[in-house]
Structure 1
Amino acid sequence: MSTLLLVRNGRRAVSLTGVGRRGTDALSGVHPVARRSIIDLSYSAHFMDFQGSSIPSSMKKLVVNKLSPNFREAVSTQTVAIPTPGDAELLVRNRFAGVNASDINYTAGRYDPSVKPPFDAGFEGIGEVVGLGLSASSSYTVGDTVAYFGSGAFAEYTVVPAKESVPVPAVKPEFLTLLVSGATAYIALKRLGDLTKGETVLVTAAAGGTGQFAVQFAKQAGCHVIGTCSTNEKAGFLKSIGCDRPINYTQEDLAKTLRKEYPQGVDVVYESVGGSVLELAVNSLATKGRLIVIGFISGYQTASGIPHFKGGTLPVKLLQKSASIRGFFLPHFLSDYKEALGSMMKMIAKGKLVCEVDCGDMSEEGRFVGLESVFRAVDYLYAGKNLGKVVVEVAPPPVSNSKL
């Protein structure tokens, strides 16, 4: 195997290889050049890149400079040097990045108060490996397509630990929907939902990024599924993925509909809105009902991040029904992550899982393309306009400059 090392200012070398992990040359059919020495200073200024296209010396990324739940106020675009991957790391050219409601919790510093600005924004990305370290080359090679769940995804290039990268068949935004949105629904319902065939499940914000998966997983478990949404278009989408009773709350009174059509209550609630919707969900629980809180988006844009909740009688309501409220935060369940992704990937391969992506094609200013469009995408999500997972196309597919 021919290996090239990158050496800068006498620092530790990292491997950059064009040879696949299966022992075949990356440029199929081309005779390899003569073996080079282990440390090749002639290559000290650049990487060996995917399909022969050069890596620029600088890139753009979104950086949190001020703690605020206002994304536009907290974040700015910066031009920085392309990062160098360490021994067990990959350099990924991002093609798509996912937008999450929690992005503004992150910019507000709510997850880890000890972290101070500046820090990188974005939770999840998917793209091509364009550089890698020596240890990482045992599992990956330049040109592999990977997805990842970690900070710094709102950037043209991101350094990602190889062990935290997920190999994917192709750079398609559908695979990106699994990393946070899909995994949250899969693991939360499996570990906390205790779903039993024939039970009734209520999914709030059902046509959103994670709601769409909760609907499908509950239906696969043999449950009757109710889904709340804000438009008839979303209601139609919910029916197409198996939702038994979509409720467009802009046209129907949600509380009255639930009392009339489900007088015995609902067994499980997958809840992400908070505030008055959470109060309604508590009141709608059946005996031994389980309410899973995966978020409370209605409060994220406020100074505290927490929507008002009338919880004075909560202990009585739970006791009278032997019901429970369970919180779910994905980083606390990473031991389940690999199995969840593997299972969902199999579902996709078998055509048993819909991954609806919203790249803003129907928005007033058009498709979300380029890092600058992340700001529009966050606004779009919080305006409740999205159908499915909001995804930004960070960069178009790479074009090879190789003449071989």
Structure 2
Amino acid sequence: MSTPQTYRKLQAIAIGSDFRNVTKVTEHSFDELIKSLGPKNILVKNIHLGINASDVNYTNAKYTPGIVPPFDVGFEGIGSVVAVGSEVTNQKVGNFVVYTLFGSFSEYVQVPAETAIPVPAPNPEFVALQTAGITSSLALTFSGRMTTNETVLVTAAAGGAGQIAVQLAKLAGNHVIGTCSSDEKVAMLKGMGCDRVINYKKEDFAQVLKKEYPRGMDIVIECVGGEFFQTCLNNLAVCGRLVVLGSVSSYTGEGGLAGDNVNTLQLLAGSKTVCGFYLPAYFPHVPAHMMNMYKLMAEGTLKVHVEDKGYVGLEQIADAVEYLHSGKSMGKIVVTLPEDNKSKI
């Protein structure tokens, strides 16, 4: 097969949360990429790229303060190994791998071999587990300290992380509540085992919790922020744990990624916990949790919903990001890279 002379990737050319206007597809030398392959790295030709709500936080420099454009963007992908570094022994050319890495929105990307997880096929469902799924699994285990027979609330439950959190909490023997914004999402979540789905466009979120769950929530997986965060905090049970995965309601506003205030006296009397969860802090635990989710998926007990919107090519990543933030998306959103002549090796 022919070796390309160039490859393309998506880069941030300015700082901001308007993803479309601060990013640009750029072209680079493939020969230089090959020559720079680190001894412990592998070169992956991407097939599917995962879209995350926090992609706009990265372009807005919220995760890497002081970063100077241009810089590569994107968090995750799945593809085939086309080259391996001189010291790599656990990967080989032809393998399919899924990975998490800053700068994944590229036709080709260097990935540390030890962090790339082999998969049997380049299915987009594996991408759905890589960042969103693993975040939910780790957050429930370490921050939520989940056991069984508890009441678990998941906000934005029909999203990439939410859909996995709902199912893992249910599989652990808990009563699970999910919030969403449409009847289609209600049906999806009920099909995944959610015990109570609250369509906040039709029901008063706070009133439902107050009336139907007066004891409060043992665990909350919170992704929305703002009024949602405050409602969740107000309905946290004694010894309850509220885990903040993000604040998506603020991501695309001016400045992006705004936080919420917590009155510590509200926590004190009920021995309540509010904590944040950021995936990089838990990287050593990723392989074991990924293997568990792969097992559950193979058994058919964990369903992974990938919404196929037909996004193809780096040029449509901005469309996918905007669709995710429209509030209409269900499950995981992916972009597929085409098999064109320029990108073959």
- TM-score by length of structure 2 reads 0.95
**Contact in 2 for aligned 1:156/1:395 (Cα 8 Å):** no
Does 2:265 align with 1:316? yes
| Structure 1 counterpart of 2:322 | 379
Compute the displacement of 1:224 (Å).
0.3
SS class of match (2:43): strand
Task: Please give the alpha-carbon distance, in whole angstroms, between the structure 2 residues aligned to 1:244 and 1:397.
Answer: 46
CA deviation map 1:350-374 (0-9, x unaligned): 22211111231xxxxxx10111110
**Contact in 2 for aligned 1:276/1:309 (Cα 8 Å):** no
Query: Does 1 or 2 have the higher relative contact order (CA < 8 Å, sep 6+)?
Result: 2
RMSD: 1.9
Compute the displacement of 1:178 (Å).
1.2
Count of residues in correspondence between the two structures? 341
Gaps of 5+ in 2: none
**Contact in 2 for aligned 1:201/1:218 (Cα 8 Å):** yes
Task: Please give the alpha-carbon distance, in whole angstroms, between the structure 2 residues aligned to 1:140 and 1:81.
Answer: 24
Q: 2:284 aligns with which of 327, 330, 335?
A: 335
Task: Please give the alpha-carbon distance, in whole angstroms, between the structure 1 residues aligned to 2:257 and 2:317.
Answer: 24
- Give runs of aligned pairs for residues 340-351 of structure 1, distance below 5 A: 340-351=289-300
2:102 maps to amino acid: S
| Structure 2 counterpart of 1:73 | 21
- Give runs of aligned pairs for residues 238-387 of structure 1, distance below 5 A: 238-307=189-258, 309=260, 311=262, 314-360=263-309, 367-387=310-330
Does 2:43 align with 1:94? no
Gaps of 5+ in 1: 1-52, 361-366
Q: Alpha carbons of 1:397 and 1:184: their partners in 2 closer, same or farther (altered >3 Å)?
A: farther
| Structure 2 counterpart of 1:145 | 96
SS class of match (2:280): helix
Q: 1:59 aligns with which of 7, 12, 22?
A: 7
Task: Please give the alpha-carbon distance, in whole angstroms, between the structure 2 residues aligned to 1:158 and 1:196.
Answer: 39
2:19 maps to amino acid: F
**Contact in 2 for aligned 1:96/1:395 (Cα 8 Å):** no
| Structure 2 counterpart of 1:182 | 133
CA deviation map 1:323-375 (0-9, x unaligned): 11011000011121111111111112222211111231xxxxxx101111101
Q: Alpha carbons of 1:86 and 1:308: their partners in 2 closer, same or farther (altered >3 Å)?
A: closer
| Structure 2 counterpart of 1:110 | 62
**Contact in 1 for aligned 2:97/2:118 (Cα 8 Å):** yes
Q: Alpha carbons of 1:338 and 1:195: their partners in 2 closer, same or farther (altered >3 Å)?
A: same
Task: Please give the alpha-carbon distance, in whole angstroms, between the structure 2 residues aligned to 1:251 and 1:308.
Answer: 26
Q: Percent identity?
A: 44
| Structure 2 counterpart of 1:158 | 109
Task: Please give the alpha-carbon distance, in whole angstroms, between the structure 2 residues aligned to 1:225 and 1:272.
Answer: 16
1:382 maps to amino acid: H
CA deviation map 1:263-300 (0-9, x unaligned): 11111100000011000000011111110001001111
SS class of match (1:336): helix
- Provide runs of 4+ in structure 1 moved above 6 Å: none
Task: Please give the alpha-carbon distance, in whole angstroms, between the structure 1 residues aligned to 2:134 and 2:265.
Answer: 33
- TM-score by length of structure 1 reads 0.81
| Structure 1 counterpart of 2:175 | 224
**Contact in 2 for aligned 1:275/1:298 (Cα 8 Å):** yes
User: Counting helix residues as a fraction of each chain, which structure ranks higher?
Assistant: 2
Does 2:122 align with 1:171? yes
SS class of match (2:125): helix
Q: 1:200 aligns with which of 138, 141, 151?
A: 151
